[in-house]
A and B are shown apart, each in its own frame.
Chain A
């Protein structure tokens, strides 16, 4: 349901001037009425204003949508695609007009894992073309062209259930582009890509510029800004009912939250570590990690960079004791005493790539409370604790009774960060900590990591964000062909 708040759209008013306008959007707010999605939202029933100004998106423009995480970027893309209100019911108030409703609009979502529907990679690559009814010959040509461009030839016969996140993202992108879209909506398409693949993608985007209408949400603004014809700035989450600006409160700069330094020194010693997923691996060619040596002590931040599928997450799993090495040793010492592998989980905090897996309870309050009270020496009302730590009036700004799964991807990541900090463990392992974060949130996370370093935490980060890596790390390694290369 779209209500127009003003009589004529801009397009109607200036028909002759804006002949090539495809989408006309004005001040817009989204409202989930009671009874939709779930009770928690309906109780909240807030209108969220996502746009304040008027925008005209012309044909074949490259438009960057930017805004803080949780400001409604994905909502705007869903609106353009028609998912809202056709598939997800919501009331949209404001101006929105799609001049060519029958246009081929394809969308690539943020989470790559749930977008592949076919059994093999090559079947998935042609899936979008099949939906458009392309001829066999055209599909064959484009399959070769796009698998070549995205370097997917070696994956064509693979099962889609056995490929990495970055590869998933590439496949959905290639599949959508091959289908010759009128409008292509990209929701953080480079989030799971390594630097090389990201650079390649931006180079390709530059080639596509002027051929398709592309609306992209991307936090790597340095690269994308030079390509964009227009930038749509979303409001920083203005709650109309409250008329108050919502700030990112999940990771605040009130670092009084970290109670004192960790007294014990930890040390991770990795000696000639090799690992293979194959049970009967005998030759080094089958190993994804080969003869790694590494020594890290408390108070240090070590970052490991590397391409998609280079074994970074595997290394973290080995350090955390989730996987056992095929050869070599990992020893974690608390002071002078080596810890037994079964004790690791009491000293290590492991933040996995997918934040949703961390949530075990119904509400944000329960998630925080569980980690907070686990230490045993803590008391008090969770609202007070949250208010104290974040210096905000939680009744207004954060609805703690809300399910953590209803937060935006960026907010989910920040919540897992907060949960990790409250556990007060000596070793912290992060897998893509800044994924889905805007610049402001990234800075806050970096500040938090620096504070944690001051408090004697041993931190290992795995990331594709090289800028962040070099800005905070004591040592940066690159994992290349199973071996660690010292970068600085």
Chain B
């Protein structure tokens, strides 16, 4: 039985994101990674990223990248010409902009819970590593805890206001919040024990990607591996790296 109706499995989106980030990190040639970035962003939009959210991310990322661009212009290496400085600053700006844009956009379409559950339910490694299911559910509880922590921090702020603690001292809310986080983790751990968590548990829903997605993920992962090795052998260009690897 399937639990989610997403267009793509989060594992596939994660692999695609890494596939896009890698050339961005290692290659300066815009013509190589530009189309890849655009294709990935279109895929994110198709996978359900909202236009409004996308525009907000663009603005935030632009501001961050601009600050790096200005810093590069203000504090250049001493022996560089003006032309070189501008070139370098622009290059860094563009790469940082797209790097951050892809990463943040991916976080809006990747379902972390789906990723964790697909990892937990896959039979690979379950026999050799006995703590896999426990670790997965603790991670899920940690994701759930974010909402709880936000609500608790709101409650603590209300209490501080009503108890007459001045705004300047509200920084101290961090301590009760920390205590709450510890208490919460203890309660969740006990709840997992109380509800009989078991490493050999079955899964009612199917979290594992469908067969086509699995093939795609495998191919992307092979490509990532070859690309990384190629860059390691000959870091100048992606193509040279891949050719080198093939020759090797």
Chain A residues within 8 Å of B, Cβ to Cβ: 78, 81, 83, 87, 104, 106-109, 111, 113-120, 122-123, 126-136, 139-140, 143, 160-162, 172, 175-176, 179, 185, 320, 322, 345-346, 348-350, 352, 354, 356-360, 370-371, 374, 405, 423
Contacts and interface: CB of A to CB of B under 8 A. Distances in A.
B194 A136 contact: no
Contacts of B159: 352, 357-358, 360
A396 B164 CA distance: 32
A349 B161 CA distance: 10
B190 A360 contact: no
Contacts of B117: 119
B222 to A, nearest CB: 31
Given A87-B190, A136-B1, A161-B147, A359 B196 contact: no
Contacts, number: 136
The 8 closest A-B CB pairs, nearest first, are A114-B187, A107-B194, A161-B147, A357-B155, A115-B191, A119-B113, A126-B204, A131-B196
B202 A134 contact: yes
A87 B193 contact: yes
A116 B184 CA distance: 12
A159 to B, nearest CB: 8
Nearest to A77: B194
B61 to A, nearest CB: 25
B200 interface: yes
Given A130-B202, A140-B1, A87 B195 contact: no
Main secondary structure of the interface of B (DSSP, over half): helix
Given A114-B148, A117-B191, A134-B202, A128 B196 contact: yes
B87 interface: no
Contact of B190 (A83, A106, A143): A83
Interface of B: 1, 3, 113, 117, 137, 140-141, 143-144, 147-148, 152, 155-156, 158-165, 172-173, 175-176, 179-180, 183-184, 187-198, 200-205
Given A109-B191, A136-B202, A360-B160, 17 more contacts: A83-B194, A109-B187, A115-B187, A115-B195, A117-B192, A119-B144, A130-B204, A132-B201, A135-B202, A139-B204, A348-B162, A357-B158, A357-B176, A358-B159, A359-B176, A360-B159, A405-B179
Contacts of B161: 345
**Which among A113, A116, A423 has the highest number of chain B CB atoms within 10 Å?**
A113
6 contacts: A109-B187, A114-B188, A117-B195, A136-B202, A357-B159, A360-B163
Contacts of B137: 117
Contact of A161 (B148, B164, B189, B194): B148
Given A109-B187, A136-B1, A358-B159, A104 B198 contact: no
Contacts of B184: 114
B123 to A, nearest CB: 14
Instruction: Output the residue of B117, B148, B190 with the most chain A CB within 10 A.
Output: B190
